[in-house]
Amino acid sequence: MESVKKTKEYEIVKKRSGRYAVRDAKRNWVHGDEKVKILLAEKLIKAPVPKQEEPEPAPEASADEASSGAADEAAAAEAPAEDTPADDPSTKESSE
């Protein structure tokens, strides 16, 4: 681990994975919100932007999925008919 910054209160180290770890003055690891506050103050990470809840058009989306699902099923039903050619050599042998 590479030491990024040392102060009297804490030490910030960078792991090989690229993530940061924080130790306090007593050499105990700092976790959770405390760690996030320290890393944000040092501008080593960006604050996560909360997602805005948008009302999802659930009825329309499910109707579109259902119609496309029905189309997929219809295409699948037609596919085996195309796989069996009318000029199958096994049928010619039995008719001769």
Give the start-to-end residue ranges of the domains of the chain. Answer: 2-41
CA gap 82, 48 in Å, rounded: 52
Q: What pLDDT is recorded for position 87? A: 61
- 63: tokens are 């109707």
CB 12 within 8 A of CB 20: yes
pTM: 0.48
pLDDT in tens, 25-70: 999 999 988 999 999 888 888 877 778 877 776 665 555 555 555 5
pLDDT score for 26 = 92
- 41: enclosing H helix or E strand: helix 32-41
